[in-house]
Structure 1
Amino acid sequence: MSASVLISPAIRRRSVSVAMKVAVIGSGISGAVCASTLARNGVSVTIFDSGRGPGGRTSQRREVGEDGKELTFDHGAPFFSVTNSDAMALVHEWESRGFVSQWKQVFGSFDCASNKFLGSIQQEGDANNNKYVGVPGMNSISKALCNQSGVESMFGTGIAKLEWLEEEIPWLLKDSKGQNLGRFDGVVASDKNIVSPRFTQVTGLPPPLDLNLVPELVTKLQDIPVLPCFSLMLAFKEPLSLIPAKGLSFKNSEILSWAHCDSTKPGRSTDSERWILHSTPGYASSVIAKTGLQKLSSETLDKISEEMFKEFQCSGLVCSLPFFMKAHRWGSAFPAKSIAVEERCLWDRNRNLAICGDFCVSPNVQGAILSGLAAASKLLQASSCL
């Protein structure tokens, strides 16, 4: 899809010929961008998400320390960069609205084999490498978009069944108890798990969307490989003064891939110094191979925490122990391939069904933005034909 087809965030709201009702499943970046774009163009949108709040992998985790004070962590995507003009226009609008800001810190790469930083440690000044974060948390982006006028958000509501009815309003959504959640003219699936065999691996139930309804999309949807990841949330009373960078990638480590100092981001509390470590996909895969995808026990999570922190300590960069430490599993953290790079989303025009997400374009926030915009474009084109 060419950039000119995408809906610019700066365009004036236009009315559609018939009031269209669309269900968006998933409140991550792609779903939230799609819902927001549809709503500002006159479409009635309802977002469904099984989680307690919006964000997906841009969620913010809230924990409580031993002293009773709240600790917050961006335990998924630490930041994002944009190079595409459509995505950049949207991000600039978010900046003007105050829920996105640049994260201006120094970044580096640490070699665990030599216990040395590779190259110089410096702030990246290239405009194409600007790092953006949500304010006051990464989930602020999806939260703002899901609260936009014209968008109704239903959190804590998982979709168990997407039924196609040969009627005027064809889509019927049901929850796990079989309760009807509403009828819709179109559906946007921004959560790949509702069409993935992984849904069955986790729940023991068939995916909500019967792929027999979309035979032309089956080949692309049947196998969306994903890379898992563990994140470790750490809070220290004193700054880790031996680390000259606030974000660093790890080389030659079988356990760690990335670390960043969350408390240095704009709008964050500085009562403590909070770091987040990300594991390598290989380490996470080795754990999941032993435990499966069921909920992990506290003992297993404690062991993962100890192993990841020990690797961090072995770098020689850590001079104190954290007063808070907790691991989290992202079972499908990053898509391992993109299934619709040119189209930016999958589309079934016969059923007004769009499937979007970073797994369509590229495994990052920009990919999710572009896919959400593309899905909205398809639904808006369909709405004009109603």
Structure 2
Amino acid sequence: MTGVASKVAVIGSGISGAVCASILAKNGVSVTIFESGRGPGGRMSQRRERSKDGRELFFDHGAPCFTVSASNLEVQSLVNDWESRGLVAEWKEKFGSFDFSSKKFVNIEEEGSNKRYVGVPGMNSICRALCHEPGIETRFGLAIGRLDWLDDYDTWSLKSLDGQDVGHFKGVVASDKNTFSSRFTNVAGKPPPIDLISVSDTTLQMNEIPALPCFALMLAFEQPLSSIPTKGFSFKNSKVLSWAYCDSSKPGRSNASERWVLHSTAEYAELIISQTGFQKPSSAVLTKVAEELFQEFQSTGLDISQPFFKKAHRWGSAFPAANIAGEEKCLWVGKRRLAICGDFCVTPNVEGAICSGIAAAAKFVNLLSTL
């Protein structure tokens, strides 16, 4: 293969980037994924922790599960394939809502009434498998510090954070928001690696994406919380908690302990950030957050025992509150062979991210078909 898109860099190994890379590789494109983290998944990553007594604990502390719209046959086809490979399974449990005003559960669904999927044995299992498919090289622990379009060579030049040259590519897929928008970076004032002003007219769109922060609380209990009639529920009329789910109730998980994950409201997270700043939160801040989220959980009036493990994690501006790509489902700069994809392009959930990854891959595949 010569010319356009014979070698493509995918920045970010979340579900949109991983799906895009998988489709490109299946179409004969040589793909290199660059991921700043130690492993794949983004908000579908799985957290490994140890309790004080040395027990190993795993938590899906980002996206707990995902659904697929009935009309979205393309995504459903992918999910069916992943299910046949043992990468996902249906999470068949009861879900509902808890109203803080009445201190009662409301809107409890029948078990399995809505199809919810989870990765097995962790939410990151899908991304991990896709990142290691034939035709894909994955470089973990390598953050991209700069991307430059070289007119003379008709290629992209990528450099790491410390300035090392990591390769030249005919095309780039940016699925990590930190690559192109300083709004999403955890380091205040740090410019994004790619200057969209020089390659497109999408800068204004990117800078206007509203993004919501969130704190996650990971809990492990010796005994099941039997007073809770569901395995996942949202909170109504709480300024602190948005939802909770029993992570250990998912298929393929260890049931040696009962593990729950709680997510804060954006309102609460923004309050904490306004008090402490956007830099990486200190241990003292995370301890304070963990106590406040757990106290709100206990204030439901349910019989909630003391956990043997309790730890908070902050998701900075990870949750987009709008989509910017409309029906295109990704942003495409054809003259520079640059695709920008992610849930912020479609809908802020796993299904939206998958759709955007499919759309980004299609742009390159369509370009190849014209050569």
- Same-fold call, TM cutoff 0.5: yes
Deviation at 1:16, TM superposition (A): 8.3
CA distance in 1, matches of 2:41, 2:78: 17
The answer to whether 1:278 aligns with 2:266 is no
Deviation at 1:217, TM superposition (A): 1.5
Deviation at 1:220, TM superposition (A): 1.4
Counterpart of 1:357 (choices 342, 357, 366) is 342
CA distance in 2, matches of 1:354, 1:329: 28
List 4+ stretches of structure 1 deviating above 6 A.
Answer: 15-19
Counterpart of 2:35 (choices 28, 49, 56) is 49
Contact 1:228 1:332 in 2 (8 A): yes
2:243 match: secondary structure: strand
Equivalent position of 1:87 in the other structure: 75
Contact 2:212 2:318 in 1 (8 A): yes
CA distance in 2, matches of 1:212, 1:120: 49
The answer to whether 1:23 aligns with 2:9 is yes
Counterpart of 1:131 (choices 111, 116, 123) is 116
Instruction: Give the letter for the 2:111 counterpart.
Output: Q
Equivalent position of 1:222 in the other structure: 207
Contact 1:194 1:207 in 2 (8 A): yes
1:293-372 equivalence runs, <5 A: 293-372=278-357
Instruction: Give the letter for the 1:36 counterpart.
Output: S
1:303 match: secondary structure: helix
CA distance in 1, matches of 2:179, 2:30: 22
C-alpha spacing 1:175/1:240, structure 2 compared with 1 (3 Å): same
Contact 1:16 1:43 in 2 (8 A): no
Structure 1 residue runs without a partner (length 5+): 1-14
CA deviation map 1:305-340 (0-9, x unaligned): 000000000112233100000000001231111001
Equivalent position of 2:362 in the other structure: 377
Structure 2 residue runs without a partner (length 5+): none
Deviation at 1:216, TM superposition (A): 2.0
Instruction: Give the letter for the 1:376 counterpart.
Output: A
C-alpha spacing 1:268/1:372, structure 2 compared with 1 (3 Å): same
CA deviation map 1:329-353 (0-9, x unaligned): 0012311110012000000000000
1:350 match: secondary structure: helix
The answer to whether 1:65 aligns with 2:54 is no
CA distance in 2, matches of 1:209, 1:120: 46
Give me the TM-score of the superposition, normalised by structure 2: 0.96
2:344 match: secondary structure: coil
Equivalent position of 1:110 in the other structure: 98
C-alpha spacing 1:180/1:118, structure 2 compared with 1 (3 Å): same
CA deviation map 1:245-282 (0-9, x unaligned): 00011000000010000001011001000000000010
Contact 1:108 1:120 in 2 (8 A): yes
**Identity fraction in percent:** 62
CA deviation map 1:201-225 (0-9, x unaligned): 6154311011222332122112111
CA distance in 2, matches of 1:170, 1:153: 20
Contact 1:246 1:260 in 2 (8 A): yes
1:211-290 equivalence runs, <5 A: 211-290=196-275
Deviation at 1:195, TM superposition (A): 1.1
Contact 1:29 1:368 in 2 (8 A): yes
CA distance in 1, matches of 2:4, 2:136: 17
CA distance in 2, matches of 1:96, 1:17: 36
Instruction: Give the letter for the 1:256 counterpart.
Output: L
The answer to whether 1:193 aligns with 2:178 is yes
Equivalent position of 1:9 in the other structure: none
CA distance in 1, matches of 2:359, 2:83: 22
Give me the TM-score of the superposition, normalised by structure 1: 0.93
C-alpha spacing 1:230/1:167, structure 2 compared with 1 (3 Å): same
Instruction: Give the letter for the 1:336 counterpart.
Output: A
CA deviation map 1:274-300 (0-9, x unaligned): 000000010011111111210111111
CA deviation map 1:348-372 (0-9, x unaligned): 0000000000000000001000100
CA distance in 2, matches of 1:46, 1:299: 39
Equivalent position of 1:167 in the other structure: 152
The answer to whether 1:205 aligns with 2:190 is yes
Contact 1:106 1:124 in 2 (8 A): yes
CA deviation map 1:38-61 (0-9, x unaligned): 001100000001001000000000
CA distance in 2, matches of 1:159, 1:383: 26
